[in-house]
Chains A and B, each alone.
Chain A
């Protein structure tokens, strides 16, 4: 006996099953059909190693989008253009910053967005650009990784310097210093009596210094008294002397004014003559000196003259006197 199937029932069941299967798939894929998205570009300087398509984009730790594509910047190959898609409600503005971050030490990279304000106008694409561009910032972890080789080199150099510092010779020197310090401390401990004596001497010196200071103070007071008494007299006498000198100068000035003509004549005529007279006196003194020398050497020769050979023009030779 052939079972008579109900095609309508089967068809309905199949359709219901398929609709449930689709609903289940959508629920599994977490597809939000009502969600709206906006696309942006982020240009990173240097490498974006670890970042892949479908990598997640976070905003304040919340996944708000994913990476759609990674290409080199068309105008500058040193930059990397990352096309990201964000949910439309994510506040993206000019102040928003995209930074490449890494999850732990696994090397899985993602993009972290920060900044932005809900009141700020939405970011719009520049003319000629397909999508709005979010500013990027270098990743601090990436900077650490890039500078890691230098850090290693510096660490190697530091270790070398420490090795030099801790050489056997330096260690021996430090040991010597420590021994000397120990000896010094011992000596100090042993010379406590000497220190007490020294302190006593210092006290005595300070006492003597105090006495000397008192005497100096007394000397200064005596000097002040002396200056106050004798200096006043001295100043009084100086004033009197100056007044006398002023009076004398006034009298001399008056005398010169009264005899200006005579003084002028003396300066104009007599002074040159005095100068000439001095010259003549010099000549006379020189002649007298010469004469006195001759008298001292040969008095008779001065009176009678010295015996001197004269030149005879006829004989053309010198001849003695009387010849």
Chain B
């Protein structure tokens, strides 16, 4: 039969160890404090989307299908920040303004709808998996940035995109134009800047549609099978 005094001593040891573990855990949690950020109390960012506002004219012609690749963003233009190009090749982002999603996805979705509607060609993106296409349209974004001027009236948005149309069947380069647009920003606020981005994207999509429409036949599945 064990001694009651000895049992009491063991219970105290267990409690002491538990207290030690709790203390250590609290200390480690306190040490991790700098690692965990819950954000500051500053004003919330304005989040904007980039959507094609025109009619979504989806042609019923299934003969010509072009797969639009994920755009390759140049010079750190990707992400949700709105890129700003300053003088002396300085780069930064716009404070308090950001995209609703990665600019890569926004640009791709915009072109799929806009160029498809303006060229009468069926363009497919990431969601159209397992669909056989005649060509693939590579998109390289050289400029997609807000460029502040000397005064508010001189602010503008520059967009420059290089398209590469390649036929799947023989890997032939059908066309590779570089289109650019520069849109004036009417007022120095987030809404007008985003509107300038929309204006530039609309103009580039219109030019891309005019370029793609006459050569889309090269991507017809019949031609691709030759």
Q: Does B40 have its Cβ within 8 Å of any Cβ on chain A?
A: yes
If A269-B130, A311-B93 touch, does A316 touch B152 (CB 8 Å cutoff)? yes
Distance between Cα atoms of A302 and B125 in the complex (Å): 30
Q: Are B168 and A322 in contact (CB under 8 A)?
A: no
One of A21-29, A233-241, A244-252, A271-279 at the interface: A271-279
Q: Does B162 have its Cβ within 8 Å of any Cβ on chain A?
A: no
Residue from the list B35, B148, B168 in contact with A272, Cβ < 8 A: B168
Chain A residue numbers with a CB within 8 Å of B129 are: 273
Residue from the list A273, A280, A303, A311 in contact with B92, Cβ < 8 A: A311
Q: Does A308 have its Cβ within 8 Å of any Cβ on chain B?
A: yes
Q: Are B67 and A276 in contact (CB under 8 A)?
A: yes
Chain A residue numbers with a CB within 8 Å of B193 are: 313
If A269-B130, A280-B70 touch, does A310 touch B92 (CB 8 Å cutoff)? yes
Q: Which of A270, A276, A309 has the most CB of B within 10 A?
A: A276
Distance between Cα atoms of A201 and B45 in the complex (Å): 106
Nearest opposing residue in chain A for B34, CB measure? A304
Q: Are B168 and A269 in contact (CB under 8 A)?
A: no
Contact with B along A263-289 (1 / 0, CB 8 A): 000001110110110011001000000
Residue from the list B69, B133, B188 in contact with A313, Cβ < 8 A: B188
In the complex, what's the smallest C-beta–C-beta distance from B155 to chain A, in angstroms?
9
Distance between Cα atoms of A276 and B193 in the complex (Å): 34
Nearest opposing residue in chain A for B93, CB measure? A310
Chain B residue numbers with a CB within 8 Å of A211 are: none
Contact residues on B (Cβ < 8 Å of other chain), bracket: 20 to 34
Residue from the list B37, B132, B148 in contact with A268, Cβ < 8 A: B132
Residue from the list A273, A308, A313 in contact with B130, Cβ < 8 A: A273
Contact residues on A (Cβ < 8 Å of other chain), bracket: 20 to 34
Distance between Cα atoms of A306 and B67 in the complex (Å): 36
Chain B residue numbers with a CB within 8 Å of A279 are: 69-70, 136
Distance between Cα atoms of A273 and B131 in the complex (Å): 8
Q: Does B9 have its Cβ within 8 Å of any Cβ on chain A?
A: no
In chain B between 177 and 197, which residues have their CB closer than 8 angstroms to a CB of chain A?
Answer: 188-190, 193
Q: Are A312 and B95 in contact (CB under 8 A)?
A: yes
Nearest opposing residue in chain B for A318, CB measure? B92
In the complex, what's the smallest C-beta–C-beta distance from B169 to chain A, in angstroms?
10
Q: Are A275 and B92 in contact (CB under 8 A)?
A: no
Contact with B along A293-323 (1 / 0, CB 8 A): 0000000000110001111111010110010
Contact with A along B82-105 (1 / 0, CB 8 A): 001010001011111100000000
A-B contact pairs, 29 of them (CB 8 A): A268-B132, A269-B130, A269-B132, A272-B67, A273-B130, A275-B136, A275-B168, A276-B136, A279-B69, A279-B70, A280-B70, A283-B70, A303-B35, A304-B37, A308-B92, A308-B93, A310-B93, A310-B95, A311-B86, A311-B146, A311-B148, A313-B94, A313-B95, A313-B96, A313-B188, A314-B188, A316-B152, A316-B188, A322-B40
Known: A309-B92, A313-B94, A319-B95. 14 other contacts (CB 8 A): A269-B130, A270-B130, A272-B67, A272-B168, A275-B168, A276-B67, A279-B69, A279-B136, A308-B92, A310-B93, A313-B193, A314-B188, A318-B90, A322-B40
